[in-house]
Structure 1
Amino acid sequence: MTISYEGQVAIVTGAGNGLGRSHALELAKRGAKVVVNDLGGARDGSGASSDAAQEVVRLIEEAGGEAFAHGANVAKFDEVQDMVQQAMDKWGRVDILINNAGILRDKSFAKMDLADFQLVMDVHVMGTVNCTKAVWDIMREQNYGRIVVTTSSSGMYGNFGQSNYGAAKMAVLGFMNTLVLEGAKNNIHVNALAPTAGTRMTEDLMPPEIYNMLTAESVTAGALTLCHKDSPTRMILCAGAGGYASTRLFETDGIFLPEAQQTPEQVLENWEGVCDTSNQSELESGAKQSEKFLTKAMAYVQSQQ
C-alpha cells in the first residue's frame, strides 16, 4: 500500500524549519496541497520572518506541487482564521492539520518567570486549540478530517527544566482525547505525535553523532502515518532515530472498600491491590472509570443482600 494525499489540502504549522518543514515537503511530495505556516521566530519565540516558509513553498512548487506560505501566529485566533480562509478560498477544503508550531523557554521552575510559562502554554496549547477550532466545522461539514497534535516525552514523563513545555505537551493529549469522541461521527481522526528529532530546539543538547541520527524525516514517517485516510484515532505515536512506539494510558482494575473502610489507612493497607496491573485496561472515555467503580460498588451491595 502506498500512502497518497492526492486531492487533499494540508495545513502544517511551524513548517519553515525542522519537523514542520519535513512534514510539509513529504505531504506535498505525496500529492497534498500545503499551507506552509510559519511565524519565522527564533526557537524561544522571538522575532518573525517569512523567509523560511517561502523557501519551503519554493521547493514544493519546483517539484511540481502546490503550496502557499502564511505567517499566522498560532496563538492569535484571528490570524489563524485568516490562514484557514485563504486555504478555503484557494482550494475549497482542509483535510489535514498538523499542529507542529512550538517554542522553548527552558528553566527550572524555581527560576522560571511566569511570563515564560504563559507564553509556552499560549503557543503550544492555545496554538493547537486555535488552529483546530478554525478547521473543525470545515471538517465536520465535509465529514472528513485528520488532525495531529504534537506531544512530547517531556509532558508524558517529565524533563528537568521544562515544567512549562511539559505541562503544555500533556495538555494537548487531554484535548485530543475529547476531540476523538466528538469528531468520531464526522470521520475526524485525532492523533498525537511524540517526536525525538534533531531540530533547532535540540541541536545544542546532544553530541553530533547522536544528533545526526535524529533526522526530521524519521519523525515525518510517523506524522504521515497519523493523518492519512486509513489512519488510527487516539494514537500517541512516538518516533525518532528510526524507532517507533506507542504510548498508552492504562488504569488498574483497582479495589473496592465499603463505606466503613474508606479511610486513608485502608487505602494504604490495600495498596498492592490498587497498583496491581494484572487486569489493567485502557479506558475509552472518562465515563468508563465511573462505570467501573459503580459496578464494583453494585457488586458489593448485591453480595451483602
Structure 2
Amino acid sequence: MCEGRVAIVTGAGRGVGRAYALMLAKHGAKVVVNDLGSAANGVGADISPAQEVVDEIIAAGGEAIVDGSDVSDWTQSKAMIDGAIARFGKLDILVNNAGILRDRMMVNMTEDDWDSVIKVHLKGTFAPSHHAANYWRTESKAGRQIDARLINTTSASGLFGNIGQANYAAAKAGIASFSIVVARELERIGVTVNAIGPRAQTRMTEGLREVSEEALLRRDPEWIAALVTWLASPEAKDVTGRVFEAWGYGYSVAEGWTHGPITAAQREAEEVGQGVRRILAAARSNAGIERDSWQQP
C-alpha cells in the first residue's frame, strides 16, 4: 500500500511505533526509525531498540535507517527531516509517535514532570511537523505534486480525561487540536493531517490495570498499525482533519467538542443560574474513557 513512499516514525523503537515502522516497511515504505531510546519517563538514551527494528526490516527485505534525534529539540528535529530527504530523496509520511509518561496527581506533580511531558509530546509533535511541512510547501511551490501524510498521536486520556495524567492529557488534547488546525492549513498543498488515539499494551501502559488474555489480544499494536498504514497510503488521500481511536475492539472517529444546548445570555449574575441549569440538564455527559462507552459495530 505504501510502495516507494518514505516515512519517518518517531518513537519507533518499541510499542506502537515499532509496529508502525514494521508494517509500513512491509507495505513497501522506506522507513526512518527514530527513537532517542529513553526510559518510559524520558530519562537516558539507548539507540539499540531502534537499531533492532531497522535490522528486522532489513532482514525482511525492506529499507530502513536509524535516527536518534530528540524530536523535542528544534535543531535535531530539522536534522531528522533533512537526513531522511538526503538519504531517500524525499519524504512522504511523518508519524509523530514519541512520548513519555510522568503520571502523578496534579497536586503532587512537579514542574519538571509537567515541562518534560509537554515538551516531548507537544513540542515533539510541532517541531518535526513544522520542518516537514516547510519541505512539502517548498516542493509544492516548485510545482511538484504532493501527496503527503502527517499522522499525530493523541490519547483517550487527552480526549476524555484520565485521573493522574493532567500533564499527559493536556499535551495529548493539544495534539488533537493541533492536528485539526494544521489539517486545514496544509490541505491546499496536498498534505493530509490526522491523529490517532491508540489503545495498546506497551511499556507505557503496563501495570496500569489488570488485563485479561482477550484484552491483551485486542491491545496488540498491530491493530493500530493497520489503520496508520492505511492512512499513510495513497488510498487515504481524501481523509484529513480527523481524530481516530484505535485498538482491536474497533476504530472510532472521535467527534470532539460540539455545540450543545444553549440559553440566553444575561447581564446580571443572579439571572444566570436558571438558564444554565436548564442547559446542563439537557446536555449529554462528557464521554468516558472506558470501553463500555463505545458503541460496538
| TM norm structure 1 | 0.84
- Whose radius of gyration is greater, 1 or 2? 1
1:262 corresponding residue in structure 2: 267
Distance 1:202 1:277 in 2: 32
Contact 1:191 1:236 in 2 (8 A): yes
Of 232, 246, 249, the match for 1:227: 232
Q: Does 1:123 find its partner at 2:120?
A: yes
In structure 2, list runs of 5 or more residues that go unmatched.
Answer: 141-145, 285-297
CA RMSD of aligned residues (A): 1.8
User: Does 2:42 align with 1:45?
Assistant: yes
Q: How many residues align?
A: 272
Distance, in Å, in 2 between the alignment partners of 1:144 and 1:126 is 24
Do the aligned partners of residues 233 and 64 (structure 1) sit closer, same or farther apart at CA in structure 2, a change above 3 Å counting?
same
2:65 maps to which residue? 68
TM-fit CA distance, 1:218: 1.1
CA deviations on 1:189-226 (whole Å, 9 max, x unpaired) are 11110011000111222335233431011121222233
Query: Which residue of 83, 86, 111 maps to 2:80?
Result: 83
The residue number in structure 2 matching 1:183 is 186
Aligned match of 2:163: 160
Gaps of 5+ in 1: 279-305
Deviates more, 1:95-104 or 1:210-219: 210-219
Instruction: Report the AA paired with residue 242 of structure 1.
Output: Y
AA at the equivalent of 1:42: A
Is residue 252–residue 275 contact of structure 1 (8 Å, CA) maintained in 2?
A: no
Of structures 1 and 2, the one scoring higher in RCO (CA 8 A, sep 6+) is: 2
TM-score by length of 2: 0.86
**1:290 paired residue number:** none
Aligned pairs (5 A) from 1:210-249: 210-231=215-236, 232-249=239-256
Counterpart of 1:191 in 2: which secondary structure? Answer: strand
Cα distance change on mapping 1:223 and 1:264 into 2, 3 Å? farther
1:150 alignment partner AA: T
- Specify whether residues 262 and 200 from structure 1 end up closer, same or farther in structure 2 by C-alpha distance, changes over 3 A only: same
Q: Counterparts of 2:274 and 2:81 in 1: how far apart (Å)?
A: 56
Q: Which residue of 2 aligns with 1:192?
A: 195
Identity between Structure 1 and Structure 2 (%): 39
User: CA 1:5–1:160 in 2, change beyond 3 Å: closer, same or farther?
Assistant: same
The 2-side partners of 1:229 and 1:263 are apart by 55
Deviations 1:106-164 (CA, angstroms, capped at 9, x unpaired)? 11111111111000000000000011011011222243321111111111111111110
Structure 2 CA distance for partners of 1:275 and 1:225, relative to 1, 3 Å = farther
**C-alpha displacement of 1:227:** 2.5
What's 1:284 paired with?
A: none
Q: 20-29 vs 224-233, which deviates more? A: 224-233
In 1, Cα distance between the equivalents of 2:216 and 2:188?
Answer: 42
> Are 1:35 and 2:32 counterparts?
yes
Describe the shift of the 1:254–1:74 C-alpha distance in structure 2 as closer, same or farther (beyond 3 A): same
Q: Deviations over 1:21-66 (max 9, x none)?
A: 0000000000111000000111111111111111111111111111
Tell me which amino acid in the other structure corresponds to 1:269.
Q
